[in-house]
Structure 1
Amino acid sequence: MEYTTFGRTGLRVSKLGLGGAPLAGVFGPTDEREVEKMIHEAIDGGINFIDTAPRYGGGESERRIGRALRGGKRNGIVLTSKATGPGDTFGYADTIRSVERSLRLLETDVIDLLQIHDAEQAPFETIVGETLPALEKLREDGKIRFIGVSSRVLPLLMRFIKLNRFDSIQFYARYMLIDHTAKDELLPLATESGIGVINGSVLGLGLLADTPAPFLERAIVEEAAHRIEQLRFLRKREPHGLVEPAMRFSLSQPAIHVTLTGAATRDVLRTNMAFCDGKGLKPEELERVYALFQGKKLFQE
């Protein structure tokens, strides 16, 4: 396992993090005992970054993670969650209640990183005027350590970075083989600002694993298929021959501190952990990928 320093927080984090959505059965039925074994295997394999949210299974992901971290396993883990939960607004009071609920479900006294979840869903003024002050109060009270923000909208994340009140950002499907637009402005700004960076959905909601999510629009699936055809030079094996290069593409990007794996089984987890060996794409392969899709968004903002 490789490790890096998470921006200006000083936290030492594994470059591969465990994403919490599949742990709650968001993408299909999961057995709670199997989930617990997966979390333990991830920790034993060197993963020390676990990311979850109240919206993942309506709190089920947090509950399962909290249970799996009993018996001292919470020690040494960088535990992250988000606000707000399902049915909540982004208002001050709802934000406080959401985090208090997460603390109970996770069975912990403090959450290491608390992120504003999908911040594009609320007006910028609400986030800055209510959500963020609530998190700053929780940090002052010692219930969270650091504050982050997540969004798929890159210009919005850049606007938040420039406030100099956040410690981290998280985006998804914005630095992957078929849409790497985050590298052009967002990642340089984050590096300059000392911001921790978390990259989610490096497989593009299943597109790069040849299993696109059923909710994706037909136009996006067709455009992705066209781009994927141009990546034949990267395929390692069939089926799912782009998974390895897709993971390595993100894991080897120095501006990205944590790449999340949304493993649904321990076999998938083991496979992804094997890619944390410091090896990225060959320089000529990376140059070719960048040239193919320079500035070309797949998912519109």
Structure 2
Amino acid sequence: MEYTTFGRTGLSVSKLGLGGAPLGGVFGPADERGVEKMIHEAIDGGINFIDTAPSYGRGESERRIGQALSEGRRRQVVLASKAVGPGESFDYATTIRSVEESLERLRTDWIDLLQIHDAEQVPYETIVNETLPALEKLRADGKIRFIGISTRILPLLMRYVRLDRFDSIQFYTRYMLIDHTAKDELLPLAAEKGIGVINGSVLGLGLLADTPASFLRPNIVEEAAQRMEQLQFLRKTAPYGLVEPAMRFSLSQQAIHVTLTGAATSEVLRANMAICDGRGLAPEELSRVYALFQGKSLFPAE
């Protein structure tokens, strides 16, 4: 397992993090005992960063993680969660309540990193005047240690980074083999500001694993298939031949501190941990990937 320093926080984090959505059954049934076993296996294998959210399984992901960490494991991990969920108000009081409820489900007195979830849902002014002050109060009270923000909208993330009030950012499907637009402006800005960077969905919501999510629009799936055809030189095995190069592409990017794995089974978890060995794509392969899709976003910018 590889480790790095999470931006200006000083936290030492594993470059591979465990994503909490599958643990809450978001992508299909997840056996509770199996989830606890997998969390313990991840920690034993060197993963020390776990990311979740209240909306993952309507709190089930947080509850299961809290249970798994309750017997002496809490201090072994950097625990990240999020505030507020889809359809909720991002006002001061709701944010405070959201975090308090997360603390209860997670069975902990503190959360290392608390992120504003899907910031594109609400006006910028609401987050600056309501959500962020609530998190800053919770930080002052010792209930959270660091504050982050997540959204897939790169220009919006850059606007928040420039505030100098956030310790981390999280995005998804913006630094992967078939859409690496985050590297052009966002990653250099984050590095300049000392911001911790979390990369989610490096498999493009299943596209790069040949199992696209059912909610993806047909035009996106078609465009992704065309781009993947141009990446045949990276395929080593079938049918999931792009999974390993996709993981290595993110894990070897120095400006990305944590690459999340959404493992639903121990077998997938072990395979992903084996990839976190410090080896990226060959230089000529990386140059070719960058040249193929330079500046070409796969998903809509808004």
**TM-score normalised by the shorter chain: which range applies?**
over 0.9
Partner residue, 1:228: 228
After superposition, residues 1-301 of structure 1 pair within 5 angstroms as 1-301=1-301
Gaps of at least 5 residues in structure 1 are: none
Cα deviation for residue 239 of structure 1 reads 1.3
What is the CA deviation profile of residues 258-287 of structure 1, one whole-angstrom value per residue up to 9, with x for unaligned ones? 000000000000000001100000000000
Contact 2:43 2:76 in 1 (8 A): no
Contact 1:263 1:269 in 2 (8 A): yes
Aligned partners of 1:7, 1:39: CA distance in 2, in Å? 25
Contact 1:116 1:149 in 2 (8 A): yes
Cα deviation for residue 87 of structure 1 reads 4.8
What is the CA deviation profile of residues 63-110 of structure 1, one whole-angstrom value per residue up to 9, with x for unaligned ones? 000000011101121000001035521000000000000000000000
How many positions carry a matched residue from both structures? 301
Aligned partners of 2:16, 2:259: CA distance in 1, in Å? 5
3-state SS of 2:166 partner? coil
Contact 1:54 1:86 in 2 (8 A): no
Contact 1:58 1:85 in 2 (8 A): no
Cα deviation for residue 236 of structure 1 reads 1.1
TM-score, structure 1 as length reference: 0.99
Aligned partners of 1:87, 1:202: CA distance in 2, in Å? 26
Query: Which letter does structure 1 place at the counterpart of 2:291?
Result: A
3-state SS of 2:75 partner? coil
What is the CA deviation profile of residues 195-242 of structure 1, one whole-angstrom value per residue up to 9, with x for unaligned ones? 000000000000000000000000000000000000000001011000
TM-score, structure 2 as length reference: 0.99
What is the CA deviation profile of residues 156-205 of structure 1, one whole-angstrom value per residue up to 9, with x for unaligned ones? 00000000000000000000000000000000000000000000000000
Aligned partners of 1:110, 1:45: CA distance in 2, in Å? 24
What is the CA deviation profile of residues 129-168 of structure 1, one whole-angstrom value per residue up to 9, with x for unaligned ones? 0000000000000000000000000000000000000000
Query: Which letter does structure 1 place at the counterpart of 2:35?
Result: V
Most deviating of 86-95 and 26-35: 86-95
Most deviating of 176-185 and 74-83: 74-83
Cα deviation for residue 112 of structure 1 reads 0.1
Query: Which letter does structure 1 place at the counterpart of 2:96?
Result: I
Query: Which letter does structure 2 place at the counterpart of 1:205?
Result: L
3-state SS of 2:29 partner? coil
Aligned partners of 2:230, 2:2: CA distance in 1, in Å? 30
Query: Which letter does structure 1 place at the counterpart of 2:130?
Result: E
Aligned partners of 1:133, 1:117: CA distance in 2, in Å? 15
Contact 1:203 1:209 in 2 (8 A): yes
CA RMSD of aligned residues (A): 0.6
Runs of 4+ in 1 over 4 A off after TM superposition: none
Aligned partners of 2:85, 2:173: CA distance in 1, in Å? 22
Aligned partners of 2:140, 2:163: CA distance in 1, in Å? 19
3-state SS of 1:75 partner? helix
Cα deviation for residue 294 of structure 1 reads 0.1
Aligned partners of 1:287, 1:118: CA distance in 2, in Å? 32
Cα deviation for residue 61 of structure 1 reads 0.2
Aligned partners of 2:55, 2:236: CA distance in 1, in Å? 35
Aligned partners of 2:86, 2:279: CA distance in 1, in Å? 39
